[in-house]
Structure 1
Amino acid sequence: MQSVEAETLIKARSSTVWDIITDAGNYTVWDSGITHITGEVRNGGTIRIRTSTGGNRIVRLRVQQMPGEVMTWTGGLPLGLCTGVRTFTLDHQGGITRLRVKEDFTGPLQGLLWKVTPDMQQAFTDYVNAVKERAEILG
Protein backbone atom coordinates (compact mmCIF):
# COMPACT_ATOMS: atom_id res chain seq x y z
CA MET A 1 0.00 0.00 0.00
CA GLN A 2 1.16 3.52 -0.83
CA SER A 3 -0.16 6.64 0.90
CA VAL A 4 0.05 10.39 0.79
CA GLU A 5 -1.36 12.79 3.38
CA ALA A 6 -1.42 16.36 4.63
CA GLU A 7 -3.06 18.15 7.52
CA THR A 8 -3.49 21.64 8.89
CA LEU A 9 -5.05 23.49 11.80
CA ILE A 10 -7.74 25.97 10.77
CA LYS A 11 -9.08 28.87 12.84
CA ALA A 12 -12.69 28.23 11.83
CA ARG A 13 -15.63 26.08 12.85
CA SER A 14 -15.66 22.55 11.52
CA SER A 15 -19.03 23.29 9.86
CA THR A 16 -17.35 26.01 7.78
CA VAL A 17 -14.59 23.63 6.71
CA TRP A 18 -17.15 20.90 5.96
CA ASP A 19 -19.18 23.27 3.81
CA ILE A 20 -16.07 24.14 1.79
CA ILE A 21 -14.95 20.56 1.13
CA THR A 22 -18.44 19.41 0.16
CA ASP A 23 -19.40 22.35 -2.09
CA ALA A 24 -18.81 20.95 -5.60
CA GLY A 25 -20.09 24.13 -7.20
CA ASN A 26 -17.19 26.16 -5.82
CA TYR A 27 -14.25 23.71 -6.04
CA THR A 28 -12.98 25.36 -9.21
CA VAL A 29 -13.38 28.89 -7.76
CA TRP A 30 -10.71 28.52 -5.08
CA ASP A 31 -7.27 26.93 -5.42
CA SER A 32 -8.41 23.36 -4.68
CA GLY A 33 -6.31 21.68 -7.37
CA ILE A 34 -9.54 20.47 -8.98
CA THR A 35 -10.06 22.03 -12.40
CA HIS A 36 -13.39 20.33 -13.24
CA ILE A 37 -16.03 18.62 -11.11
CA THR A 38 -19.50 17.28 -11.82
CA GLY A 39 -21.90 15.54 -9.47
CA GLU A 40 -22.77 16.16 -5.85
CA VAL A 41 -20.39 15.71 -2.96
CA ARG A 42 -22.95 13.92 -0.77
CA ASN A 43 -23.24 10.56 0.93
CA GLY A 44 -23.78 7.88 -1.70
CA GLY A 45 -23.10 10.32 -4.54
CA THR A 46 -20.75 10.02 -7.49
CA ILE A 47 -18.49 12.78 -8.69
CA ARG A 48 -16.22 13.12 -11.69
CA ILE A 49 -13.14 15.28 -11.29
CA ARG A 50 -10.16 16.50 -13.27
CA THR A 51 -7.15 17.75 -11.31
CA SER A 52 -4.29 20.06 -12.14
CA THR A 53 -1.85 17.15 -11.69
CA GLY A 54 -3.89 14.61 -13.68
CA GLY A 55 -3.85 16.26 -17.10
CA ASN A 56 -7.07 15.76 -19.07
CA ARG A 57 -7.98 12.52 -17.31
CA ILE A 58 -11.37 12.52 -15.57
CA VAL A 59 -11.69 10.30 -12.52
CA ARG A 60 -15.01 8.87 -11.30
CA LEU A 61 -15.29 8.67 -7.49
CA ARG A 62 -17.88 7.32 -5.05
CA VAL A 63 -18.55 9.56 -2.05
CA GLN A 64 -19.29 8.28 1.45
CA GLN A 65 -19.79 10.54 4.46
CA MET A 66 -20.35 10.79 8.15
CA PRO A 67 -21.47 14.42 7.81
CA GLY A 68 -19.28 16.93 9.60
CA GLU A 69 -16.67 14.33 10.52
CA VAL A 70 -15.38 12.04 7.77
CA MET A 71 -15.74 11.79 4.01
CA THR A 72 -14.18 9.33 1.55
CA TRP A 73 -13.78 9.49 -2.20
CA THR A 74 -13.14 6.03 -3.68
CA GLY A 75 -12.13 5.22 -7.25
CA GLY A 76 -9.79 3.10 -9.28
CA LEU A 77 -9.30 0.54 -11.97
CA PRO A 78 -11.72 -2.33 -12.71
CA LEU A 79 -11.37 -5.63 -10.84
CA GLY A 80 -9.57 -3.91 -7.96
CA LEU A 81 -6.32 -3.68 -9.94
CA CYS A 82 -5.69 -0.35 -8.22
CA THR A 83 -7.98 1.44 -5.79
CA GLY A 84 -7.53 4.87 -4.27
CA VAL A 85 -9.42 5.94 -1.16
CA ARG A 86 -9.11 9.61 -0.20
CA THR A 87 -10.23 10.27 3.38
CA PHE A 88 -11.04 13.74 4.70
CA THR A 89 -11.18 13.89 8.51
CA LEU A 90 -12.27 16.87 10.62
CA ASP A 91 -11.56 17.20 14.34
CA HIS A 92 -12.83 20.28 16.17
CA GLN A 93 -11.07 21.43 19.31
CA GLY A 94 -11.95 24.76 20.95
CA GLY A 95 -12.40 26.98 17.91
CA ILE A 96 -9.75 25.19 15.85
CA THR A 97 -10.47 22.53 13.24
CA ARG A 98 -7.85 19.99 12.25
CA LEU A 99 -8.27 18.91 8.62
CA ARG A 100 -6.46 15.75 7.61
CA VAL A 101 -6.56 14.43 4.04
CA LYS A 102 -5.03 11.04 3.29
CA GLU A 103 -5.16 8.82 0.22
CA ASP A 104 -4.33 5.12 0.33
CA PHE A 105 -3.64 3.16 -2.85
CA THR A 106 -4.04 -0.62 -2.91
CA GLY A 107 -4.25 -3.41 -5.47
CA PRO A 108 -1.87 -5.47 -7.59
CA LEU A 109 -1.00 -2.57 -9.93
CA GLN A 110 -0.62 0.15 -7.29
CA GLY A 111 3.17 -0.21 -7.11
CA LEU A 112 3.59 0.16 -10.85
CA LEU A 113 1.15 3.07 -11.09
CA TRP A 114 2.78 4.78 -8.09
CA LYS A 115 6.06 4.90 -10.02
CA VAL A 116 4.52 6.73 -13.00
CA THR A 117 2.19 9.04 -11.04
CA PRO A 118 3.41 12.58 -10.37
CA ASP A 119 4.38 13.30 -6.75
CA MET A 120 1.10 14.11 -5.04
CA GLN A 121 2.50 15.36 -1.72
CA GLN A 122 2.69 18.99 -2.83
CA ALA A 123 -0.85 18.84 -4.25
CA PHE A 124 -2.17 17.54 -0.90
CA THR A 125 -0.28 20.20 1.05
CA ASP A 126 -1.55 22.91 -1.31
CA TYR A 127 -5.12 21.59 -0.95
CA VAL A 128 -5.25 21.70 2.87
CA ASN A 129 -3.60 25.14 2.86
CA ALA A 130 -6.16 26.42 0.34
CA VAL A 131 -9.04 25.07 2.48
CA LYS A 132 -7.46 26.77 5.51
CA GLU A 133 -7.18 30.10 3.71
CA ARG A 134 -10.77 29.95 2.42
CA ALA A 135 -12.23 28.83 5.78
CA GLU A 136 -10.43 31.52 7.74
CA ILE A 137 -11.69 34.18 5.31
CA LEU A 138 -15.27 32.85 5.33
CA GLY A 139 -15.36 31.88 9.01
Structure 2
Amino acid sequence: MRFFRSEVLINARASTVWHVITDGTNFGVWESGILEADGPIRAGDTVQITPMVGRRPVNLRVQQIEGEVMTWKRSLPLGLWARTRTFTLTPESSHTRLTVTEDHRGLLLPFSKHPDADPFLDRFTEAVRARSEILDRVS
Protein backbone atom coordinates (compact mmCIF):
# COMPACT_ATOMS: atom_id res chain seq x y z
CA MET A 1 0.00 0.00 0.00
CA ARG A 2 1.16 3.54 -0.73
CA PHE A 3 -0.41 6.44 1.12
CA PHE A 4 -0.06 10.16 0.41
CA ARG A 5 -1.45 13.10 2.36
CA SER A 6 -1.65 16.84 1.87
CA GLU A 7 -3.29 19.35 4.18
CA VAL A 8 -3.88 23.08 3.99
CA LEU A 9 -5.69 25.68 6.09
CA ILE A 10 -7.85 27.87 3.85
CA ASN A 11 -9.09 31.34 4.71
CA ALA A 12 -12.54 30.65 3.25
CA ARG A 13 -15.85 29.12 4.19
CA ALA A 14 -16.28 25.35 3.84
CA SER A 15 -19.10 25.94 1.34
CA THR A 16 -16.71 27.83 -0.94
CA VAL A 17 -14.03 25.14 -0.70
CA TRP A 18 -16.67 22.47 -1.40
CA HIS A 19 -17.81 24.39 -4.48
CA VAL A 20 -14.23 24.57 -5.79
CA ILE A 21 -13.53 20.83 -5.43
CA THR A 22 -16.87 19.77 -6.95
CA ASP A 23 -17.05 22.24 -9.85
CA GLY A 24 -15.43 20.00 -12.45
CA THR A 25 -16.40 22.27 -15.33
CA ASN A 26 -13.90 24.87 -14.04
CA PHE A 27 -10.96 22.58 -13.16
CA GLY A 28 -9.15 23.67 -16.34
CA VAL A 29 -9.49 27.36 -15.39
CA TRP A 30 -7.31 27.20 -12.26
CA GLU A 31 -4.09 25.34 -11.42
CA SER A 32 -5.88 22.13 -10.39
CA GLY A 33 -3.56 19.82 -12.32
CA ILE A 34 -6.66 18.65 -14.18
CA LEU A 35 -7.08 19.65 -17.80
CA GLU A 36 -10.81 19.00 -17.83
CA ALA A 37 -13.63 17.11 -16.18
CA ASP A 38 -16.83 16.16 -17.94
CA GLY A 39 -19.08 18.10 -15.58
CA PRO A 40 -20.08 18.66 -11.98
CA ILE A 41 -18.93 16.11 -9.45
CA ARG A 42 -21.80 14.59 -7.47
CA ALA A 43 -22.36 11.56 -5.26
CA GLY A 44 -22.99 8.38 -7.19
CA ASP A 45 -21.68 9.76 -10.49
CA THR A 46 -18.82 8.49 -12.57
CA VAL A 47 -16.84 11.48 -13.76
CA GLN A 48 -14.24 11.47 -16.51
CA ILE A 49 -11.18 13.55 -15.66
CA THR A 50 -8.24 14.36 -17.91
CA PRO A 51 -5.12 15.12 -15.85
CA MET A 52 -2.47 17.59 -17.09
CA VAL A 53 0.18 14.88 -16.76
CA GLY A 54 -0.42 11.92 -19.04
CA ARG A 55 -3.49 13.55 -20.63
CA ARG A 56 -5.33 10.22 -20.77
CA PRO A 57 -8.88 10.50 -19.44
CA VAL A 58 -9.71 8.40 -16.39
CA ASN A 59 -13.11 7.46 -15.01
CA LEU A 60 -13.61 7.96 -11.29
CA ARG A 61 -16.52 6.87 -9.11
CA VAL A 62 -17.62 9.61 -6.73
CA GLN A 63 -19.04 9.23 -3.24
CA GLN A 64 -19.87 12.17 -0.96
CA ILE A 65 -21.18 13.29 2.35
CA GLU A 66 -22.27 16.72 1.11
CA GLY A 67 -19.98 19.51 2.28
CA GLU A 68 -17.79 17.24 4.43
CA VAL A 69 -16.15 14.27 2.67
CA MET A 70 -15.76 13.16 -0.93
CA THR A 71 -13.95 10.18 -2.44
CA TRP A 72 -12.84 9.51 -6.00
CA LYS A 73 -12.21 5.83 -6.71
CA ARG A 74 -10.56 4.10 -9.62
CA SER A 75 -9.70 0.40 -9.81
CA LEU A 76 -8.87 -2.61 -11.91
CA PRO A 77 -10.80 -5.86 -11.50
CA LEU A 78 -9.78 -8.70 -9.18
CA GLY A 79 -8.00 -6.40 -6.74
CA LEU A 80 -5.13 -5.84 -9.15
CA TRP A 81 -4.93 -2.11 -8.42
CA ALA A 82 -7.05 0.56 -6.75
CA ARG A 83 -6.65 4.24 -5.97
CA THR A 84 -8.87 6.23 -3.64
CA ARG A 85 -8.53 9.98 -3.20
CA THR A 86 -10.39 11.34 -0.17
CA PHE A 87 -11.16 15.02 0.41
CA THR A 88 -12.10 16.02 3.96
CA LEU A 89 -13.26 19.52 4.95
CA THR A 90 -13.07 20.57 8.59
CA PRO A 91 -14.34 24.04 9.59
CA GLU A 92 -12.02 25.86 12.03
CA SER A 93 -13.56 29.18 13.17
CA SER A 94 -13.51 31.34 10.00
CA HIS A 95 -11.20 28.95 8.12
CA THR A 96 -11.51 25.51 6.55
CA ARG A 97 -8.95 22.74 6.81
CA LEU A 98 -8.74 20.68 3.63
CA THR A 99 -7.10 17.28 3.96
CA VAL A 100 -6.59 15.22 0.82
CA THR A 101 -5.33 11.67 1.07
CA GLU A 102 -4.56 9.18 -1.65
CA ASP A 103 -4.41 5.44 -1.03
CA HIS A 104 -2.91 3.10 -3.65
CA ARG A 105 -3.18 -0.66 -3.21
CA GLY A 106 -3.42 -3.92 -5.11
CA LEU A 107 -1.44 -6.83 -6.46
CA LEU A 108 0.21 -4.75 -9.20
CA LEU A 109 1.41 -2.03 -6.84
CA PRO A 110 4.96 -3.44 -6.45
CA PHE A 111 5.36 -3.08 -10.22
CA SER A 112 4.13 0.50 -10.37
CA LYS A 113 6.56 3.33 -11.05
CA HIS A 114 4.67 5.68 -8.74
CA PRO A 115 7.12 7.65 -6.55
CA ASP A 116 7.17 7.57 -2.76
CA ALA A 117 5.85 11.14 -2.65
CA ASP A 118 3.15 12.83 -4.68
CA PRO A 119 4.03 16.48 -5.45
CA PHE A 120 0.82 16.85 -7.47
CA LEU A 121 -1.27 16.38 -4.34
CA ASP A 122 0.45 19.32 -2.60
CA ARG A 123 0.06 21.45 -5.73
CA PHE A 124 -3.63 20.57 -5.90
CA THR A 125 -4.35 21.52 -2.27
CA GLU A 126 -2.43 24.79 -2.65
CA ALA A 127 -4.37 25.58 -5.82
CA VAL A 128 -7.67 24.84 -4.03
CA ARG A 129 -6.57 27.20 -1.24
CA ALA A 130 -5.75 30.01 -3.67
CA ARG A 131 -8.96 29.60 -5.70
CA SER A 132 -11.18 29.31 -2.61
CA GLU A 133 -9.70 32.40 -0.98
CA ILE A 134 -10.23 34.44 -4.14
CA LEU A 135 -13.82 33.24 -4.59
CA ASP A 136 -14.66 33.74 -0.91
CA ARG A 137 -13.53 37.37 -1.10
CA VAL A 138 -15.67 38.00 -4.16
CA SER A 139 -18.92 36.53 -2.78
For the criterion TM > 0.5, the same-fold answer is yes
Runs of 5+ unmatched residues, structure 1: none
Residue 79 (structure 1) shift: 2.1
Q: 2:125 is matched with which residue: 111, 124, 128?
A: 128
Letter in 2 for 1:4: F
**Aligned 1:51-130 pairs, distance under 5 A:** 51-53=51-53, 55-113=54-112, 116-117=113-114, 121-130=118-127
1:73-124 per-residue CA deviation (whole Å, 9 max, x = no partner) reads: 00022222000000000000101100011110111112212xx135662111
Structure 1 runs of 4+ aligned residues shifted over 3 Å read none
Partner residue, 1:22: 22
Mapped contact 2:25–2:36 kept (Cα < 8 A): no
Mapped contact 2:24–2:36 kept (Cα < 8 A): no
Q: Distance in 1 between matches of 2:31 and 2:117?
A: 15
Q: TM-score, normalised by structure 2?
A: 0.92
Mapped contact 2:2–2:116 kept (Cα < 8 A): no
Partner residue, 1:38: 38
Count of residue correspondences:
136
Where 1:30 maps in the other structure, the secondary structure is coil
Where 2:38 maps in the other structure, the secondary structure is strand
Mapped contact 1:39–1:45 kept (Cα < 8 A): no
Matched-pair identity in %: 47
Runs of 5+ unmatched residues, structure 2: none
